[in-house]
């Protein structure tokens, strides 16, 4: 068996990660995207080393951010056919030289074609842009074999480009779905350039963590949008979130040495668990079980993973009281962005239990129900109406939920977002 075949066989034997898919104004602003990829170790004297061999630049100086003639794992869903083709051709990694966010050739071509996003137009002119505005688009059919180094951005330029894109998140000039569409495409292009250069160092890990944060925040914000195509945007965002997470986990492992973990690794590992709360099929459960066995011990013992496993257990048990209490007191901002839809589902489930199984024959006070569901009383009333239930009031204007109503039904589509009272963010 030749070298190319052996490398291909090794890649096929590597574990893969399963993906899963998952209104009212949000109460959060976007968080600071700066991340610190500092590693925490059991011994302060241990120095982490990459498991990969490093490439050399044309001047024969070591460049620890690049790998030659080997891939750690497939990035961003590159098809097996493409992977096999690259293995047969034994193509080495590229070291990009493009100094701008968008290569000159692409920028000029897109000006001619008027293919400029609103964020790229100079003074609003769809025919004009500049190096400080144009950002390289994602190209699905790009080939490492035929791309030129001048069309690929080096690591420093990619970092600046990513920071520029993420600063657009708080833009109020355009609807969020427009902002998301632009950042979504351009960050895919960033991952593409990282992949073609096989950059797997700490700076790449920091970039992937920032991109995962973008997709997590978008996971929540897109639910508040009113665009007719919002469901497809949510699906695509979730797809890229799971891919970015998978690549991030690969980068963690590529730089693993002894028992160290990255400072943010526990939280980003917990996202996988929270994204699979409602995965009910046996294949997904087996995949998750395998995934847990490969999580480093320090991560499994972390408070972030402890929280995620508790939430998973309470969700699967239908213990809505413990689920809501744990989420409100322990969830981080990003963790809550992921599980907010599950919070509303659990609340609807709780109302179903109380309506159908409540031992009280008299109406259930809304004030008491709001404390149980950790909601404002007006929000409880709105949710009950969404579930097809009527609310009654006594002479003192105290509202209650009459139980044993036969009109209860789980609302179709996504539920409105309601504030979680007591959330520590």
The pLDDT of residue 54 is 33
Comparing C-alpha atoms, which of 328, 309, 313 is closest to residue 418? 328
Q: What are phi and psi of 94, to 5 degrees?
A: -95, 150
53 inside domain: no
Look at the chain and report how many structural domains it folds into.
1
Q: Is the pLDDT of residue 114 over 70?
A: yes
- pLDDT averaged over every residue in the chain: 80
pLDDT, tens digit, 9 for 90 and up, residues 306-327: 999 999 999 999 999 999 999 9
The pLDDT of residue 366 is 93
pLDDT, tens digit, 9 for 90 and up, residues 282-311: 555 667 778 888 899 999 999 999 999 999
pLDDT, tens digit, 9 for 90 and up, residues 131-163: 999 999 999 877 777 889 999 999 999 999 999
Per-residue pLDDT band at 75 (split at 50, 70, 90) = very low
Give me the mean pLDDT over the 13-35 stretch: 42
Do 188 and 137 form a contact (C-beta atoms < 8 A)?
A: no
64 inside domain: no
The pLDDT of residue 19 is 35
The pLDDT of residue 231 is 86
**Rounded CA separation 116/127 (Å):** 7
Per the structure, the complete domain to which residue 203 belongs is given by: 92-255
Give me the mean pLDDT over the 16-41 stretch: 46
Give me the mean pLDDT over the 217-231 stretch: 85
Give me the mean pLDDT over the 30-54 stretch: 45
105 inside domain: yes
pLDDT, tens digit, 9 for 90 and up, residues 171-192: 889 999 999 999 999 999 999 9
411 inside domain: no
312 inside domain: no
193 inside domain: yes
Scanning the structure block, which residue is given the tokens 């949510």? Answer: 234
pTM of the model as a whole: 0.78
The pLDDT of residue 240 is 94
Q: 424 or 218, which is more confident? A: 218
Q: Which residues pair with 56 in a beta bridge?
A: 62
Per-residue pLDDT band at 395 (split at 50, 70, 90) = confident
126 inside domain: yes
Share of the chain above pLDDT 70, in %: 75
132 inside domain: yes
Share of the chain above pLDDT 90, in %: 58
The pLDDT of residue 308 is 96
Q: Which own/partner contact pairs does 256-259 have at CB distance under 8 Å and 24+ positions apart? A: 256/48, 256/51, 256/296, 257/46, 257/47, 257/48, 257/49, 258/41, 258/42, 258/43, 258/46, 258/48, 259/41, 259/42, 259/296, 259/297, 259/298
Per-residue pLDDT band at 58 (split at 50, 70, 90) = very low
The pLDDT of residue 256 is 87
């Amino acid at each position: 068996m030749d070298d190319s075949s052996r490398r291909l066989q090794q890649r096929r034997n590597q574990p893969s990660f399963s993906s899963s898919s998952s209104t009212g104004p949000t109460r959060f602003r976007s968080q600071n995207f700066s991340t610190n990829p500092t590693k925490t170790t059991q011994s302060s004297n241990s120095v982490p080393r990459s498991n990969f061999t490093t490439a050399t630049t044309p001047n024969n100086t070591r460049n620890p951010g690049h790998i030659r003639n080997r891939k750690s794992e497939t990035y961003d869903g590159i098809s097996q056919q493409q992977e096999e083709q690259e293995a047969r051709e034994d193509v080495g990694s590229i070291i990009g030289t493009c100094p701008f966010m968008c290569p000159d050739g692409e920028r000029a071509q897109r000006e001619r074609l008027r293919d400029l996003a609103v964020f790229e137009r100079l003074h609003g002119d769809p025919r004009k842009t500049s190096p400080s505005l144009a950002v390289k688009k994602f190209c699905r059919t790009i080939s490492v074999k035929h791309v030129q180094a001048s069309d690929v951005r080096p690591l420093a330029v990619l970092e600046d480009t990513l920071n520029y894109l993420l600063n657009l998140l708080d833009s109020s000039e355009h609807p969020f779905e427009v902002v998301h569409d632009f950042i979504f495409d351009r960050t895919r292009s960033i991952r593409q350039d990282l992949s073609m250069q096989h950059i797997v160092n700490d700076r790449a890990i920091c970039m992937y963590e920032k991109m995962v944060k973008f997709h997590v925040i978008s996971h929540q914000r897109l639910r508040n949008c009113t665009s007719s195509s919002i469901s497809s945007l949510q699906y695509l965002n979730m797809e890229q979130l799971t891919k970015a997470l998978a690549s991030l986990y690969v980068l963690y492992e590529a730089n693993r040495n002894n028992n160290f973990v990255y400072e943010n690794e526990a939280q980003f590992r917990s996202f996988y668990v929270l994204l699979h709360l409602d995965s009910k099929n046996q294949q997904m459960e087996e995949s998750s079980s395998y995934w847990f066995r490969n999580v480093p011990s320090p991560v499994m013992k972390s408070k972030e993973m402890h929280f995620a496993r508790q939430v998973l257990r309470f969700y699967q048990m239908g213990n809505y009281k413990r689920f809501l209490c744990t989420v409100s007191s322990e969830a981080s901002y990003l963790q809550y962005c992921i599980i907010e839809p599950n919070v509303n589902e659990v609340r609807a489930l709780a109302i179903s239990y109380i309506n159908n199984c409540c031992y009280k024959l008299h109406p259930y006070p809304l004030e008491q129900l709001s404390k149980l569901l950790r909601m404002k009383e007006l929000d409880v009333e709105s949710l009950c109406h969404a579930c097809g239930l009527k609310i009654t009031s006594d002479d003192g204007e105290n509202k209650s939920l009459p139980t044993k109503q036969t009109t209860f039904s789980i609302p179709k589509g996504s539920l409105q977002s309601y504030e979680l009272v007591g959330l520590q963010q």
